[in-house]
Amino acid sequence: MIVDVTHPETGETIKVDMPNLNESTLADLQKEHTTNQQLREHLERLPVSAEVKAILFNLAKFTIRAGETIILLGKRLVEVGLTLANKYPNATMGVIVAALLSALIALVPVIGPAIVSFLAPLMMLYGLVDGFLTDFKSSKPKLAEDIREATAFAAA
Amino acid sequence: MSVDTDLSEFFGKDVIQVVSDQERFRRRLKIGGDAFQYLKKAENVHTTASSLLGGAGAAGAVYAGWFASIGTLGQVGLAAGMVATPLGALAAAGAVGAGGMYFTQRLLKNTRKGVVEEIPSFINTPIDVLGTTLVDILLPVLLKIADSDGEVLEEEQDLIAKYLENEWGFDPHFIVGAIAAEMAQIDQWSFESIRKLIIEVSKTGDLDVSGFKTDLMAVARDVSHADGKLMSGEVASLQALEASLELRPSSVARRSFWAWLRSIFRLR
């Protein structure tokens, strides 16, 4: 399925092919499990800095468009991040979301420029370096598997 | 899909909340943009850099270079007025200009604080953790003040609960439970125990501690007057609280010259 991705800062739109995105996965991605206000309240309960909370809340506003359908992709990633942070208490929410964003870029490199404005500050604040996802996969295999599953919709 | 099952389970759970109105709570912390500690550091770097990059900045840099180049004896001579070059005089004027620009920015920033109320969109500490700690400070203090005349009246309990709900945004159900728990041990509690908690909270950087202490003292006075009488026990408790909060006027009289100078620039 061809998806329109708009750069959150420049407004430039690019077309991305996500062959794994079908009617069924699209329906799953469209589900909202929480309101924006509830999401903000969940973020405020996290033991992370105010900056990270603000970046994650901004990410939650990031959307992509598949035909006439708007997908709240950023919100979905933050929701998944919160769920995984709860499931794996030893992992930090900001790092989990950075891993989700990196996994997405690894699957669809062309989406990179549009989401790097969320990923770069997270990596800087947590001192992560390029390729940290590879280390992440070996040190936290179960969490890495959940991240792979959560981003499977973007796989080729 | 298990991801969606996990999401439904996680977001379907009822959360026991300490703070039900988070915006009101964040506003009450009175920290404004200082909540964003990394950004604050970046902003301070900007303030210093902009004063140096202003018209005076270049002259300041010349002055720094020239001052370093004249050596120690030259610097002593400068202080005694024995070294006077046109370059030095001009550059020194520039350096003073840069300093003036810096202080002007500080003054404007402080004036802005007085007229614009900033509420941070997020804070650093998990909000329920900070909320519980603040209740551990506020609630026993206020109940102890109310108990100073021998009993905690219903109107005093109501005033305390309304203060915590309406002013701080605490959850009413949480407050009911917290009041019951604190009442059971209020006899053994002493004002001294809040010092350590206040120090812990101040380390988070998520609370304007001096504003918090002043507000706590003001609401403690309100609680002591709630039944229309001010008994000697309540006066003694208020004094004990004032001492624990280190708000005694004598501490102001002992301020150093530098503390006094800083207070002028803070415009407080």
Mutant choice from A35, A49, A123 vs B, greatest count of B C-beta within 10 A = A49
- Selection from A135-139, B76-80, B167-171 with the highest mean pLDDT: B167-171
Residue A80 at interface with chain B, using a CB cutoff of 8 Å: yes
Q: Report the share of chain A in percent with pLDDT over 90.
A: 71
A48-74 in b/e burial notation, b at 16+ Cβ within 10 A?
Answer: bbbbbbbbbbbbbebbbebeeeebbbb
pLDDT at B82: 46
User: Is residue B45 pLDDT above 80, yes or no?
Assistant: no
pLDDT at A59: 96
CB-nearest partner of B39 from A41, A51, A53: A51
Counting residues of chain B whose pLDDT is more than 90, the rounded percentage is 46
Write the residue in B1, B22, B120 that is nearest to A50 by C-beta.
B120
3-state helix, strand, coil in chain A (%, to 5): 60, 10, 30
CB pair distance less than 8 Å for B36 and A51:
yes
Which candidate in B1, B3, B5, B39 is best for mutational testing of the A interface (most A CBs within 10 A)?
Answer: B3
3-class SS shares of chain B: helix, strand, coil, % to 5: 75, 0, 25
Contact between residue B137 and residue B201 where contact means Cβ atoms under 8 Å apart? yes
DSSP H or E run through B183: helix B172-184
**CA-based torsion, A156, B4, B5, B9: positive or negative:** positive
CB B238 within 8 A of CB B255: no
CB contact (8 A) between residue B11 and residue A31: no
3-state SS, one letter per residue, for A59-106 = HCCCCEEECCEEECHHHHHHHHHHHHHHHCCCCCHHHHHHHHHHHHHH
The SS3 assignment for B134 reads helix
> What is the percent of chain B with per-residue pLDDT over 70, rounded to a whole number?
65
Chain B nearest C-alpha distance from A150 (Å)? 6
- Number of continuous H segments (helices) and E segments (strands) in chain B: 14, 0
* Residue B72 pLDDT grade (very low, low, confident, very high; cuts 50, 70, 90): low
Q: Higher-confidence residue: B50 or A59?
A: A59
- Mutation target to probe the A interface, by most A beta carbons within 10 A, among B18, B122, B132, B204 is B122
The string of pLDDT tens digits covering residues B97-147 is 666 666 677 777 767 667 888 899 999 999 999 999 999 999 999 999 999
Give tens-digit pLDDT for A84-138: 999 998 899 999 999 999 999 999 999 999 999 999 999 999 999 988 888 888 9
